[in-house]
Amino acid sequence: MSGGPDSSGAISRRAFVGAAGLASAGLLATAYATPAAATAGDATDAGPAVVPFYATHQAGVATPTQDCLVFAAYDVTAPGRSALLALLRTWTDASARLCAGQLLAGDTYPGAPAPDTGEALGLGPAHLTVTAGFGPTLFDSRFGLADRRPAALADLPSFAGDALEPARSGGDLCIQACADDPQVAFHAVHDLTRLALGTATLRYLQLGFGRASSTSSQQVTPRNLMGFKDGTDNLTDEEPDLLERYVWVGSEGDQPWMRGGTYLVARRIRIHLEAWDRSTLDEQEQAVGRDKASGAPLGGTAEHDPVNLRAVGKDGLPVIPAGAHIRVAAPATNGGERILRRGFNFADGVDPVTGELDAGLFFICFQRDPRRQFVRIQTRLSEQDSMGRYLVHTSSGLFACPRGPVPGGSWGDALS
């Protein structure tokens, strides 16, 4: 929608108007008149901001992190595998159009609702990615998929300090929509939710902003709501070897359909900002292990200086304290394991009990096997991280994300 009146855009706008039986010449002319204004949305010298939807690996994982997140989890309510597969087919086709910046097409019988809810008309693709995943509960007895559940999709254990809210945890399916425009990301989830009517219902929805982890060396490292740079040593899209090693499922494992896929862990981490904000800068930097302004590891001078966990100060104590977040989370502390972080900040209002901000980090990470990656790292963090006293995990989700659909294929091909 950001470009000129190309053929796909023309088709989409015709479908939009035609769906209500209003395809008269005058109304079509009106619809066609839109692209002039539409170009203002995100036209750049570099062309439309489109991330390819059909690819070996799903987009939205190694894709440079966009500005905004809309994350949705669903419960499948229809019985049987055929309804589930039909939904995944519908979602795949719709997501391909959405990521290309096209309006959704649909049936045009009299009285049919418009096939697209319309609020993204004129905004352009805005680097939208739509990433789908299957939760552990999808592999219970309802859909005959029990023997397709990967061993790596093992329910996450309880961690010290967890305060999970069931209503915003779990889910049979997830959709992660990311874009540089929040309205474009919301529109995707809005329309996919509408298309699920009768098959799946929304379980929870989380908006995020401020991309609290960069996944590209071309991006400035963003800051979380604690004010610290987050994601300095993250995996990036420029490191395909490391992505193969830590993110994409290979030939190992019990389920061939997961080859080329990845596992998504989502944790809504509320930050007790009031307590954090009252601590001193020194306390904060000791808890994180980094300088707040520059992001340099303690003992270093620049953000990307190597983290020296063995350095000892004049007082004989480690320069990076025993409980510092970057020490406890470091690959060297966790058998060399790494994860791809792709979290976003959130602010959902006021805690009705304490009157404090209900805000924090919606942590998302991707990995090849959560058992030896997220679970291993989080077990240690939950016990030793000095930042932990300011954090509480209020939701948890785990999803198996299959490989990217082939053109004309479906996310459900992995399960059919």
Contact positions with a copy of itself (CB under 8 A) in 161-190:
167-168, 181-183, 186, 190
Is the CB of 12 or the CB of 334 nearer to a copy of itself? 12
Binding pattern to a copy of itself, positions 95-114, x when CB under 8 A?
----------------xxxx
Cα three-residue angle 236-240-243, rounded to 5 degrees: 70
Tokens of 253: 């494992």
Interaction residues for a copy of itself, span 298-317 (CB under 8 A): 301-302
- Quick one: residue 260, left, alpha or beta (phi over 0 = left, psi -120 to 50 = alpha)? left
Interaction residues for a copy of itself, span 32-61 (CB under 8 A): 33-34, 37, 40-41
Among residues 56, 74, 62, 55, the alpha carbon closest in space to that of 399 is found at 74
Instruction: Give the residue, chosen from 209, 257, 308, 321, that forms a contact with a copy of itself under the rule CB under 8 A.
Output: 209
Task: State how far the Cα of 337 lies from the Cα of 182, in Å rounded to an integer.
Answer: 33
Instruction: Give the residue, chosen from 242, 281, 317, 332, that forms a contact with a copy of itself under the rule CB under 8 A.
Output: 281
Sole window of 51-59, 147-155, 192-200, 399-407 interacting with a copy of itself (rule: CB under 8 A): 192-200
Quick check: helix, strand or coil at residue 347? strand
DSSP annotation of 164 reads -
Is the CB of 172 or the CB of 337 nearer to a copy of itself? 172
Instruction: Give the residue, chosen from 1, 15, 31, 76, that forms a contact with a copy of itself under the rule CB under 8 A.
Output: 31
Task: State how far the Cα of 201 lies from the Cα of 77, in Å rounded to an integer.
Answer: 7
Tokens of 141: 């007895």
Sole window of 88-96, 144-152, 203-211, 236-244 interacting with a copy of itself (rule: CB under 8 A): 203-211
Cα three-residue angle 63-67-72, rounded to 5 degrees: 80
* Bridge-based pairing state of the strands 262-271 and 357-367: antiparallel
Is the CB of 223 or the CB of 371 nearer to a copy of itself? 223
Q: Contact, 61 vs 342, CB < 8 A?
A: yes
Task: State how far the Cα of 378 lies from the Cα of 159, in Å rounded to an integer.
Answer: 7
Please tell me whether residue 21 binds a copy of itself under the rule CB under 8 A: yes
Is the CB of 87 or the CB of 414 nearer to a copy of itself? 87
Instruction: Give the residue, chosen from 4, 24, 27, 146, that forms a contact with a copy of itself under the rule CB under 8 A.
Output: 27
Interaction residues for a copy of itself, span 328-367 (CB under 8 A): 345, 347-350, 352, 355-357, 359
